[in-house]
Structure 1
Amino acid sequence: MTKAPSLAQLKTDLADVTSVDDPRLALLAADSRKGAQLLLTQIKRRLAKAEAAERAFQQRLHYERALWQRGQLVAGIDEVGRGPLAGPVVTSAVILPETFDIPLVNDSKQLTPKERERLYPLILAQATAVSVGIGSPQLIDQINIYQATRVAMQRAVLGLGVAPQHLIVDAMQIPVDLPQTRLIKGDAKSASVAAASIVAKVYRDHLMATYDELYPGYGFAQNAGYGTAEHLAGLADRGVTPIHRQTFSPVQKIINA
């Protein structure tokens, strides 16, 4: 009589199962050991989760697919950093190929920092073109955050190495002469916008970590320039830095004081 494989061996052997129709699962179902049945439940749960993620991913390609069918290159655009007291607003424009296949790409706010860091180089590797546009704190103070965001988005689009024929934008109107689909919460509805949101977020987080080394005491690496207690304490103790937005109320109060 052939000895049944150990549960540890089964777990290793079945790690590559990608379908509930895999005949190995039928053998596992026939294994009466409690551990084997638990493993079967875990595998089915993993497969169901992967299937749901794939369905959601295909739904996020809805707008792109309609434009691809018309032979158009599509760029998704998003921004990060409109609310912080310090640092620039950062935008990104991303053109995805029709072969793009990273189901985990979603609204950056729905992802952990570790997930964003892992997806960032994968997006750069698969994308047809990627560009970043910056709106400096000085520009924000000159023309306000909304207009500075539009300018940064324009810079991102114009910086693409490949010219897009249609833009999908997260709720903004970009001053470029191209047709634009404007979506509320576009980073959750469009894979291109989601990819742009991840690129912009990771790029800005890295930038703020560098600023944390230049201007210690504000917690920029942790708070990305948002008005946390640590940041406000740093403002009170150390004053305003060159990367602070002087027209934003807490900073303005420090300057006036």
Structure 2
Amino acid sequence: MEKDDLGVEATQNSLSFIPRSVDSARVLSGESYAYYTPCPTAITPHDKSNPTNGASESTPCVLGVDEAGRGPVLGPMVYSAFYLPIELHHSLLAKDHSFDDSKALTAAVRANLMHLLNTPGHALYESCGYAIKLLSARDISSGMMKPGTAVYNLNAQAMDATIEIIRGVVEERGVDVREVYIDTIGNPATYQQKLERIFPSLKITVAKKADSLYPCVSAASVAAKVTRDVALEVLYESVLQAQAIENAPTVPEGWGSGYPSDSKCVGWLRRNMDPVFGWGNECRFSWGTAKEMLEVKGGARVDWPADDEDGNGMLSEFLLASGPGKGSGQNGLREWFGQKQAEII
């Protein structure tokens, strides 16, 4: 995955184009969601009401799946399924528009291709559709930090995202997908066998470097990468606005690539860590980088009230009780929750 350096300058320049796959309100709220483009005019889906009607034969399509943002500590992970008529697969994507693995394209080229995909009247818009599953940093961490056997690891979340968007295109929207190409997670054979059991009617190919081998996967790579980058910029702009409201000092170099190996990202996390709550919806708390900062490098520990033996303890009773260190009424609430401390460097 390409480690773009995202910050103030990128934010100011890139947010002029926000693709429909980026729902800013849901991104800021920490919500995961799916997005599907309308079925393009060049594709006739299955006629579910009268499948035997020969006058409305469906269009055979190819579909590719890829992701962006698997490794960063900041921002969402995004999966994309990209589909178009099989007969246009190579001519439209590879020959006419030079789609390639998103890592091999510049940010400007990716953004332009995504803009064309969202421009009515353009050949890409009229012939191609795509689906997006955005998994928020909050939900990724929540799943990974579940106790015991309930843990929902990243591979399982990625697999479920892939299944959801394929099913959304094929079963819910009736697109006649014949061939599916997917960039692998782990062992390609194991991944492919699982998907073949779920979708027995599809010809599925799971391969390493599929984003460089199959144009539809390259296009999915671009859609996922641009969606993630813009979502990350939406989050960063929100952080800047919050700092401005609080009159907090801002650091113009931004938070870097968002990867734990990036010193600029680590520096931003240190400077912007709340001693109790850490960070906002932009951060994956389940990542070791974030855990270490909170647990070892200054995170304040909070003693939460425990339930009584019968499990009937009421938090409101604890908060509103009078006594040393608690106070009473609204003042007690404020004193119990405490005050935000000075910025940790």
Q: Same fold (TM over 0.5)?
A: yes
* Partner-residue secondary structure (3-state), 2:64: strand
1:46-57 correspondence runs (5 A): none
The equivalent residue for 1:73 is 61
State how far apart, in whole Å, the 2-side matches of 1:194 and 1:113 are.
14
The equivalent residue for 1:232 is 266
Q: CA deviation at 1:218?
A: 8.1
Contact 2:257 2:265 in 1 (8 A): no
The equivalent residue for 1:154 is 163
Match for 1:165 among 163, 178, 203? 178
After TM superposition, the score normalised by the length of structure 2 is: 0.49
Q: CA deviation at 1:103?
A: 3.8
Change (3 A) 1:159 1:219: farther
Render the CA deviation track for 1:19-71: whole Å, top value 9, x for unaligned. Answer: xxxxxxxxxxxxxxxxxxxxxxxxxxxxxxxxxxxxxxxxxxxxxxxxxxxx7
The equivalent residue for 1:55 is none
State how far apart, in whole Å, the 2-side matches of 1:242 and 1:220 are.
20
The equivalent residue for 1:131 is 131
Contact 2:67 2:78 in 1 (8 A): yes
Say if 2:154 is the partner of 1:120. Answer: no
Contact 2:255 2:264 in 1 (8 A): no
The equivalent residue for 1:110 is 104
Contact 2:66 2:221 in 1 (8 A): yes
After TM superposition, the score normalised by the length of structure 1 is: 0.65
Moved more, 74-83 or 238-247: 238-247
Render the CA deviation track for 1:178-204: whole Å, top value 9, x for unaligned. Answer: 442101100000000000000000111
Identical amino acids, percent of aligned pairs: 26
The equivalent residue for 1:243 is 282
Contact 1:208 1:220 in 2 (8 A): no
The equivalent residue for 1:30 is none
Q: What is the root-mean-square deviation of aligned Cα atoms in Å?
A: 2.5
The equivalent residue for 1:85 is 73
State how far apart, in whole Å, the 2-side matches of 1:95 and 1:110 are.
21
Q: CA deviation at 1:167?
A: 1.6
Render the CA deviation track for 1:97-141: whole Å, top value 9, x for unaligned. Answer: 223523410111000001111111334415432110122223322
Contact 1:77 1:168 in 2 (8 A): yes
State how far apart, in whole Å, the 2-side matches of 1:115 and 1:229 are.
27
Q: CA deviation at 1:222?
A: 6.6
How many residues align? The count is: 187
Change (3 A) 1:218 1:183: farther
* Partner-residue secondary structure (3-state), 1:96: strand
* Partner-residue secondary structure (3-state), 2:286: coil
State how far apart, in whole Å, the 2-side matches of 1:129 and 1:86 are.
28
Render the CA deviation track for 1:212-233: whole Å, top value 9, x for unaligned. Answer: 1112368897735223222211
* Partner-residue secondary structure (3-state), 2:265: helix
Say if 2:214 is the partner of 1:190. Answer: yes
Q: Unpaired segments of 5 or more residues in structure 2?
A: 1-58, 119-124, 144-151, 186-190, 241-249, 274-278, 297-345
The equivalent residue for 2:36 is none
State how far apart, in whole Å, the 1-side matches of 2:224 and 2:253 are.
16
State how far apart, in whole Å, the 2-side matches of 1:110 and 1:167 are.
22
Q: CA deviation at 1:241?
A: 2.2
* Partner-residue secondary structure (3-state), 1:223: coil
Contact 2:254 2:268 in 1 (8 A): no
Contact 2:74 2:282 in 1 (8 A): yes
Q: CA deviation at 1:147?
A: 1.8
Contact 1:78 1:187 in 2 (8 A): yes
Q: Which has the higher helix share?
A: 1
Change (3 A) 1:158 1:224: farther
Contact 1:90 1:132 in 2 (8 A): yes
